[in-house]
Each structure stands twice: as C-alpha cells, then as structure tokens.
Structure 1
Amino acid sequence: MRLLWVGLLLGIGTLVHAAVPEPVGELLRKNGIPAENVSVYVQRVDQPSPLVDHQSDRPMKTASTMKLLSTYAGLELLGPAYRWRTEVYHDGRLENGVLHGNLIIQGRGDPYLLAADMRAMLEDLQLAGVEDIRGDIVLDTRYFARRYHDAAEFDDKPHAPYNAVPNAFAVNIKSTSFHFLVEGGKLNIEADPELPEIHIHNQLNLVRGDCGDWKSRLQFVVEPLGDEVAVTFKGDYPSACRDKTLELNVLEDGPYAYGLFRSNWLSLGGKLRGGWRYGALPEDAQLLVAHDSQPLSEIIRTINKYSNNLMVRQLFLTMAAERVASPATEADGVHVVKAWLASKGLHFPELILENGSGLSRDEQITARHMAAFLLAAYASPVMPEYLSALPIPSVDGTMANRLRNSQARGSAHLKTGTINGVSALAGYVHDRRGRRWVAVIMVNDPKASASRAAQDALIDWVYQQP
C-alpha cells in the first residue's frame, strides 16, 4: 500500500509539471501572450518521458534555433575535423616570377575565409614564386549552384549582413565595417576593408545629445556602379556616440573578392595586369597553393554562439555538395538532412527546411521533435563539440546578457532564435544537482519578442528542480 501511495504521489507530481510552469505562465500572461501560441518541452536526458509538455506536437516557426539541427547534422555527416579547402591554380606558364596566364581560385564553400586568410594565401602565392600576374583573376564558384536571389525578400533589408546569400567563394563573411569616428569636432566615416570600389559620401550632421539608438537616426543609400558602389550616409549622428561601427553588405560577391585580392596583392608588392571574371577551372590547370579552413568544430562555435546565417547556409550547402552532388542546391541540403534524420530513426513529418538557418518564414518543427534531436545529439559521439559551440547564459554569444541575476547563469548551453513574430530558446540546462536537461520553448505570436523573460524563467525553473 505504501509503494502504491508513493507511486500515486509521483504520478500527480508529473501531471502537475506537465503544464507550463507557473513562473513562466505568469510572465506570458503579463506580456499578453496566449498560452496557445507557446510550445514547451523539457526532459531530463536520462529519463524516458518529459517533465513539461505543453503543445509540443504543434508545428512552430523556429527562427535561428533551426541552426541547432543544421550544425548537429554537419558534425555527424562531415565530422568535427572537416575543413574547407580553397585552391589557387594557374592555366599558363610561370617564368622568373611572372605568370603568363590566368590565376584561378576554386572556392569550395569556406564559411569563414576572412581578409587575413586571403592575405595569408597571397603570401603563400608569392612563396610559390608568383610576383607578376599578367592574366585575369578567375573565380570558380561552381561548387554551389548559382541562383538569382533577392536578398531583400525576407525583410526588405538587402544590405543587412544576416541577409547575405551563399557563394562558394564568400570572403570575409561578405561584410564591410563602416566606422564612424568623431575627432576634433568632425565626423569621418571609414570602410574596413578599405577598397577603392567602395565610395563613401558623408552627408551626416554631427549633433549634440545622448547617443541612444544612434542607428535609427541615420539612413544609408547604396547605389551600384558596375563593379563599384556608392554608399551615402544621411541624417544625424550624436557627438556623444564617439566611435561606432555599422556592418553592411554592399558589394557584389565577385567585385568584393577581387577587390580584397587586389588590395592585399598590391600591398605585398605584387603586380596585377588583368581584371576578374567568373569561370571554370581548366582540366590542365596547375595547383599553386591551397588554404584549409578552421575545423568544423571551431566553425560551428561562431555559427551558434553568434547566430551567423551566412556561415550556416554555407555549411548546409556543403553537406549537400559532399553527400549529393555539386553544384549543390538548398533542395539538396534538405534531402541530405532529412535522409540523415531517417537513418537515425528520427521521423519528423512536420519539419520544413529551407536554408537551414531559420532565416525563413516557412522553416518549422515541433518542440517535441527539436527535443528529440537534442537528446540524440547528447548521446552522440560529437556531443562535446556540439555543446561547447552553444552560447552560455551571462557568459558569451547571444546569451551574454541573459539570466545575469539567475543561479542558472553559466550553467546552460542554449541557442536563441528571433524574427518578427517568433522567439525561441532551446538547448541544455545543467541543474543545481548536476543533472542535464533538454529544454525547448518556442513562441509564435505578434508579441513574441516580449517572451524573453518567460524563456529565462523556464531555464531558471529547470535549474532549480529538486
């Protein structure tokens, strides 16, 4: 009888906690978010059933929490040590430092080929004996399929870095930093990298007053000029802001890559006679140098900790190229990820993938199934690399300023996700007794952005479990 009574008490406890925890529900109500627009799932990694299960079978838009699926798939399909290789060839003859012919760069999707890496490649090129390039710089980007894409279609912000579209030779995350510098009562604007293809027109007024939301007080106009671009800044800039930086994607892929190449090559003392163009690597081309990226285990740290859309889309297409065929399409990536899930016995009929980043109005999954692949990842050999790539509350990445007053700070690995009408948080919580939990909360509501406190309350509640 005593054992039966204990069992009944445990069953009642499970039923009580099956709903949204009261601290979470209270904050949702306070911010005007109906419970029916929220999905929550919490399960201990060593238990067969959830502690919290609220609308977990409802398909929900994920925003950037979809990166959790793409990066897990990447680790298992490609391996933590996978590296992207960029190779440089020539199709002519090299005599006494002079290359009589074209220099061909074959990109294979490196998500994190920075300006410093470009310079290192060119230093290696000089060590290989090249000093004077008499032909063109040819960019072979056929590893990914080319498709015309309107970068403004998501939110009408085509120059926002998060809207940058993939390219097999995407350099420096395709971003230009515009530095606003106040000195001697004057405002100067400088571009980094500083390329002659980027023309800055400064029409900003330097004004008094608090810095505040300085970005909302300025406007910019980007005007393409063939392979160059004019960027005009208008509006007001408060002098109290001192030095600020605005990241924009303003140059097309080819001109940007070529501009970085030429700028670094000339600064290294090299000579360049031709221009640039897209083209295919000839069969008889000769390899000069190769550059390997950081390992995937490091790449996904940048992807997930800072929620980089372009980098995860490059990964998504790389999985497609490696597992299906090249030139790779996003549809190939969808096929690869779904086939991989099925091979693990994970069948998610409601799953909609588009580009693997969550930068989509269509990508969706249920909270139950997001928790299912998080549980599978925890049991996977790649678990250490996977967890270490996720933001830690009040420590780093997109969670650096979250849960600062909670005992759970520093005790979770969580991925955020936010677009208009969608806010989500998912990952792992290490509770006060040393147990690990999977926690997922997704909000699809016009007031979703107001759910952050409720999300944090869920993590705190999980951490405090007796």
Structure 2
Amino acid sequence: MKYLHTAALALTLSAAAAALAARGAQTQASTPATGPLQAQADALVGNKGEWTILAWSMDRNEPLFAINADSARVPASNNKVYSTVWAMGTLGPDYRFPTDLLIAGPVQNGTLRGNVVIRGSGDPAFGYPDWDKDVMASPRKMAAALQRIGVRVVEGGVVADPSIHDQQNFGPQWPLDTGNGASRYAPTVSGLPFNRNMLWIEIRGGTAFQRIPDVPEIPVINNVRAGGGRAFAVRKPDEDTIRLRGGVGGRGPYRFGVGAYEPAYLAGGAIRQALREAGIEVRGAVTVGKTPENAVVVHRHFSIPLHEIVHVTNRHSDNFFAEHLWKAAVAKSTGHGTYAGGGSASAAFFHDRAGVPWGQLWQADGSGLSAQNRTSANAMVRTLMYAHKAPWSAQFHESLAIAGDPEGTMKNMFNNTPAAGNLHAKTGFIRSVRSLSGFVKTAGGETVAFSFIYNGRNTSGSRGVQLALGNLLATYRR
C-alpha cells in the first residue's frame, strides 16, 4: 500500500492554511481589549505577544478581558474541543459507528467460495479493552453469525477494509516520540481500528512469544534472551516489523504493546482467529483492501454512543479517540476521512455554525499533536458558545475535566482555590505550548466561556498565569 509522505502532506496543509489566513487578514478584530477585568488580566500576563486570550460573559454577551484574541496560536490538546464539537454537530451524540462482517462469494455445502470481509467506519472503541473486557468478544460474535449461516470452511481469506479513511495512518508533523503511531499515547489511525490499534506481544515461560491478536502478517523478529535484563518491543517509524530485544527472567508473563503501522491487519487477524476458534477453517491470509460490490452483510456491530467516546476524549485527553472522531467528521463532511481534506472542511463547519472568522482556525489533525494546528482564543470561545447552546450541550459540558477533580486532566489544577469544582475545561500541552479553554461560573453567577493559549518557552510560568486568570473569573462579581 502506498502512503502519502508526511512532508508532502505538510506542504499541502501549509498552503491551505496560508490561503485561509489570507482571507482572514481582511477580518476586523472582533474582540477589543476592553472589559471590567482587563487591567487585572493585563497585570497577570507577561510577554503578551506569546498569548491569545479571551474571557466572554455569555450572560451579557461581552468580553471581560481580551489579549491578542484574534491571533492564531498552536492549541495543543485544546484542538480536541474542535474535534469533539464537530463530531457531535455532524454525527450526533447518539451516533454509533458500524463495523460490518460480510461474505464475498456463495456458500456451497458449508464452504464459502470467496473471502470474508471486515469493513470499518472508524470506530475507535471496536475491541477497546475498557468496554470489551475480552477484546475478542465482538470478533467472536461475528464468527458465530457466520456459523449460523452454515459456513464451516472459508476458501479464501479475510479482507480488512479501512477505506473510509485515507491511507495516512498518522498525523502530519507529529512529535518524533510517537514513532509514526508506534507509541501507546498516540497509536496509528485507521478506518478499521481494533484494540487501540496496538499489537500485543506476550512471552510466557521462556523466550517464545505470541501475538495478540494472532496476526502473523505483521512480522515479529524475536531477539529476546533468557537470563534477566529488560525486554522491550519496538518498530521503525515507516514499517510494520516489530523487534523484540533485551532479556527476560522468570516465567512471566511479559507483555509489550506497539502501535501497528497498518492497523487494519489487527482487525482482520482478530476475525480470522475468532473463526478458527469457532471451528471454521480459513485457508487464506489477511489482506487489506476494499469491499467487493457483491459482498453481503452477515453481521453488523455497533459501537458505544458517540457521546461516551467524546467524554473519554476530552476528560482524559485521549489522542487515539480524538483522531478517529475528527476523521469521522471529515468523512461525513467530504465523503472520505483524509488529513489533507480535513482542515478546510473543519474551518468551513466552524465558520458556518459558530461564526469563526476565516484564518483563525486550522486543524491539521484531530488530537492537537501536530504543530501545524492553529486557533485564536476568539475562535475557541465562539466554538464553546456554539456547543453551550447546542441540543447536546449537557453532554459536552460533562466531557470536560473539572478543576481539582481526580477524574480527568485537571486533578492537580486549581486545588483549594475558588475555581475548584466549578471551572471545567480542556487542557493542552505539547512542547512550547500550554492551553486551557472552557467554562466557569463567576461569583456573581455569570457563565463565562474562556480560552487561554500560550506559545513560548516559559510553559511552567504560563500554567501559573492560567490558574490566576481562572481564579480571577471565578471570584468576579459585577
């Protein structure tokens, strides 16, 4: 399979972003720096050129303070606000991703004269261990459906179809430590995900290993030795071969997880494994391709509701879920979940629905890992206000981490301050970026949407400024 090279994709995205910026240059500043808390905010914020900041009273429909509110900055994981809002706005909070098992050929005397097909729609929760305690539970239900129609032998193999998405399975300009989707915190993205797109290698009672799921189409080179030491599993960024290195002592078990370069093999391998466990002989290999036109659906699996996925995405800043929600929104809007087409489709959605000015928002990916993402505080606040007024407002609010709450990314923020238990927001950080955007109730009872985004070297100091600004809002009384 051919993949669009990341550098080429970066050029495409940069050109599109520049075009949007040119259109945005004609937009007048929409958030003048005047408000009842402006002087106090100015005193708290140091190098103002490194910030974009806006706090907006939704009750009075006016700013409480603003600093460079129309200037676009890198948002880090605040980008997930756009991804989850776009998915809720286009797919709906109760949407469930379908994953289909199909047969491509006739069944004659118990033999399928063709292939089994597993076709995805980008469900990030398919085979996800937090919901399927046994990740093979859903593949086994699919195998049972094939048994019910009398299949005992599959003459062909298993075709894994991720084609609802493009073939770029990792975001543009992701940090080097993601290994193009090899890492656990940012595994690969696919139209046919399975078990977070992680291949697990398990060693028990020696140095022999097994793959989970059983998918020999992903090569594993085992150089693990007995006799202590630290074993680990790695792959190079641009290939699927996994290498086991180091040493193991005792009987184990030892488990190592690596994000698969072509993750569709995992779902295909899981289906073949489930079929064989059910006593169905599968004679062919797992391949990645498109569903034939004559294929017939045998079983359809539905995911958990989208609002549950959104909750995990925002509350715990889950990169894997965010990428899949974003690509699902791209696919719904354009017909194909592509990185190259997502930025302009996202900008158009938020311009039309939330009034975000052209040039103030660019999504290069869904999670915020890419350094090519851009947003202004004004764009973010407009989006938060759109979400606040949407029919799914309560579900969106509940997805945000709560200040000082142990469940979520703000468990160590705002503890024992006026904002604790009140302010709820999306956090964000990558190198040289700290961001915080969400909602807070003032002491006077006003609901405020805010966005504080910093790009610069003093990231530890910037987080302190964000805490101070949040408490400034929480204690404000008109």
TM normalised by structure 2 equals: 0.78
Distance 1:40 1:244, change over 3 A: farther
Residue 341 (structure 1) aligns with: 350
The farther-off stretch of 245-254 and 378-387 is: 245-254
Which segments of 5 or more consecutive residues in structure 1 lack a partner in the other structure?
1-12, 208-216
Report the Cα distance in structure 1 between the residues aligned to 2:444 and 2:82, rounded to whole angstroms.
Answer: 28
Q: Which SS does the other structure have where 1:387 is aligned?
A: helix
Displacement, 1:402?
2.7
Residue 68 (structure 1) aligns with: 81
On the 8 A contact 2:200/2:211 being kept in 1, the answer is: yes
Report the Cα distance in structure 2 between the residues aligned to 1:225 and 1:425, rounded to whole angstroms.
Answer: 34
Displacement, 1:150?
8.2
Distance 1:84 1:196, change over 3 A: closer
The farther-off stretch of 51-60 and 65-74 is: 51-60
Which one of the candidate residues 118, 142, 150 is aligned to 1:121? 142
Residue 408 (structure 2) aligns with: 397
Distance 1:14 1:78, change over 3 A: same
Residue 439 (structure 1) aligns with: 450
Residue 277 (structure 2) aligns with: 267
On the 8 A contact 1:128/1:289 being kept in 2, the answer is: no
Tell whether 2:378 aligns with 1:372: no
Residue 173 (structure 1) aligns with: 196
Report the Cα distance in structure 1 between the residues aligned to 2:465 and 2:237, rounded to whole angstroms.
Answer: 44
On the 8 A contact 2:169/2:262 being kept in 1, the answer is: no
Displacement, 1:220?
5.2
Which segments of 5 or more consecutive residues in structure 2 lack a partner in the other structure?
1-33, 128-134
Report the Cα distance in structure 2 between the residues aligned to 1:451 and 1:65, rounded to whole angstroms.
Answer: 15
- The 5 A counterparts of 1:385-424 are 385-393=395-403, 394-424=405-435
Which one of the candidate residues 283, 289, 304 is aligned to 1:294? 304
On the 8 A contact 1:301/1:390 being kept in 2, the answer is: yes
Which one of the candidate residues 312, 318, 335 is aligned to 2:328? 318
Distance 1:455 1:148, change over 3 A: closer
Report the Cα distance in structure 2 between the residues aligned to 1:100 and 1:378, rounded to whole angstroms.
Answer: 53
Report the Cα distance in structure 2 between the residues aligned to 1:448 and 1:84, rounded to whole angstroms.
Answer: 38
Displacement, 1:224?
9.9
Distance 1:333 1:142, change over 3 A: same
Tell whether 2:237 aligns with 1:258: no
The farther-off stretch of 102-111 and 454-463 is: 454-463
Q: Deviations over 1:329-387 (max 9, x none)?
A: 22332232222223233323232221232111121111122111111221222211211
On the 8 A contact 2:169/2:190 being kept in 1, the answer is: no
On the 8 A contact 2:122/2:165 being kept in 1, the answer is: yes
Q: Which SS does the other structure have where 2:95 is aligned?
A: coil
Which one of the candidate residues 194, 212, 226 is aligned to 1:193? 212
Residue 41 (structure 1) aligns with: 54
Report the Cα distance in structure 2 between the residues aligned to 1:136 and 1:295, rounded to whole angstroms.
Answer: 31
Residue 295 (structure 2) aligns with: 285
Displacement, 1:76?
1.2
On the 8 A contact 1:67/1:356 being kept in 2, the answer is: yes
The root-mean-square deviation of aligned C-alpha atoms, in Å, is 3.6
The farther-off stretch of 375-384 and 219-228 is: 219-228
TM normalised by structure 1 equals: 0.79
Tell whether 2:473 aligns with 1:462: yes
Aligned positions, number: 428
Q: Deviations over 1:406-445 (max 9, x none)?
A: 3433323211111111110111123455442212111101
Distance 1:105 1:313, change over 3 A: same
Q: Deviations over 1:160-202 (max 9, x none)?
A: 1344342211211212467899xxxx99998883646456654
On the 8 A contact 1:111/1:310 being kept in 2, the answer is: yes
On the 8 A contact 1:18/1:53 being kept in 2, the answer is: no
Report the Cα distance in structure 1 between the residues aligned to 2:470 and 2:246, rounded to whole angstroms.
Answer: 42
Report the Cα distance in structure 1 between the residues aligned to 2:245 and 2:448, rounded to whole angstroms.
Answer: 50
Distance 1:128 1:293, change over 3 A: farther
On the 8 A contact 1:303/1:312 being kept in 2, the answer is: yes
Tell whether 2:170 aligns with 1:160: no
AA of the residue aligned to 2:73? M
Q: Which SS does the other structure have where 2:190 is aligned?
A: coil
Q: Deviations over 1:126-159 (max 9, x none)?
A: 3444343221101222212224868885324312
On the 8 A contact 1:18/1:51 being kept in 2, the answer is: no
Q: Deviations over 1:383-415 (max 9, x none)?
A: 112111222232322223333333433323211
Report the Cα distance in structure 2 between the residues aligned to 1:154 and 1:176, rounded to whole angstroms.
Answer: 21
On the 8 A contact 2:200/2:213 being kept in 1, the answer is: no
On the 8 A contact 1:304/1:415 being kept in 2, the answer is: yes
Residue 145 (structure 1) aligns with: 166
Residue 10 (structure 1) aligns with: none
AA of the residue aligned to 1:146? Q
Distance 1:380 1:157, change over 3 A: closer
Report the Cα distance in structure 2 between the residues aligned to 1:49 and 1:225, rounded to whole angstroms.
Answer: 50
Displacement, 1:206?
6.2
Report the Cα distance in structure 2 between the residues aligned to 1:225 and 1:336, rounded to whole angstroms.
Answer: 28
Residue 100 (structure 1) aligns with: 113
Report the Cα distance in structure 2 between the residues aligned to 1:180 and 1:435, rounded to whole angstroms.
Answer: 57
Report the Cα distance in structure 1 between the residues aligned to 2:429 and 2:451, rounded to whole angstroms.
Answer: 14
Identity of aligned residues (%): 25
Tell whether 2:453 aligns with 1:430: no
Report the Cα distance in structure 2 between the residues aligned to 1:225 and 1:329, rounded to whole angstroms.
Answer: 19
Report the Cα distance in structure 2 between the residues aligned to 1:167 and 1:120, rounded to whole angstroms.
Answer: 22
Q: Which SS does the other structure have where 1:262 is aligned?
A: helix
On the 8 A contact 1:89/1:286 being kept in 2, the answer is: yes
Q: Which SS does the other structure have where 1:43 is aligned?
A: strand
Residue 384 (structure 1) aligns with: 394
Displacement, 1:72?
0.8
AA of the residue aligned to 1:443? Y
